Amino acid sequence: MPDVSVTPFTRNASQAIRIALVSGIAVLLGACSSAEPEARKAVLAKLLAADTAQFGAYTEIKHKAACLTVNSLGGNGKPTGDLQAVVFKVDEVWKVADITRISHDECVTAVEQIVAEAGKKSG
């Protein structure tokens, strides 16, 4: 068996590797971030009982629109059940277009069509 010696990383090399790993993770996290917190804020501003809001599924469409499942207490004090908040990004601000009683999948399908049509008209 050949004599193999292993040279440990120097302190500078080890530190450089750690910095590269942390930087890579930060870049990946930034790339994966979504606008969900901003979309939630827009929805909360429209609810009668925002303090009771419970959020569920969130789907963002091309960084231009999103569907967000929300359940809160309605004006009658009873839970609304799952509703879909339809939000669009207008001048870098998320705005609620509607909060409606459809499934999340139906919301996503409809909003994808709207975004596709808007893309055809603008481009």
Q: pLDDT tens string for the chain (123 positions)?
A: 555 444 454 556 556 555 544 444 443 344 345 899 999 999 999 999 999 999 999 999 999 999 999 999 999 999 999 999 999 999 999 999 999 999 999 999 999 999 999 988 876
* Confidence (pTM): 0.71
CA atoms lying within 13 Å on the CB side of residue 88: 10
What is the spatial distance between Cα 72 and Cα 83, in angstroms, rounded to a whole number? 9
Give the pLDDT of residue 18. Answer: 56
Q: Which residues contact 101 (CB under 8 A, 6 or more apart)?
A: 81, 83, 84
Give the pLDDT of residue 29. Answer: 40
What is the spatial distance between Cα 89 and Cα 92, in angstroms, rounded to a whole number? 6
Domain that holds residue 42: 36-122
Give the pLDDT of residue 2. Answer: 54
**Structure tokens, 14:** 């080890």
What is the spatial distance between Cα 13 and Cα 103, in angstroms, rounded to a whole number? 53
List phi, psi (to 5°) of 30. Answer: -65, -40
Assigned domain for 96 exists: yes
Assigned domain for 76 exists: yes
Assigned domain for 20 exists: no
Q: How far is CA 103 from CA 20, 22, 49, 53, 93, in A?
A: 43, 39, 21, 17, 25
Give the pLDDT of residue 106. Answer: 98
Give the pLDDT of residue 112. Answer: 98
Q: What is the CATH number of the domain that holds 84?
A: 3.10.450
Assigned domain for 50 exists: yes
Assigned domain for 112 exists: yes
Give the pLDDT of residue 31. Answer: 39
Give the pLDDT of residue 24. Answer: 44
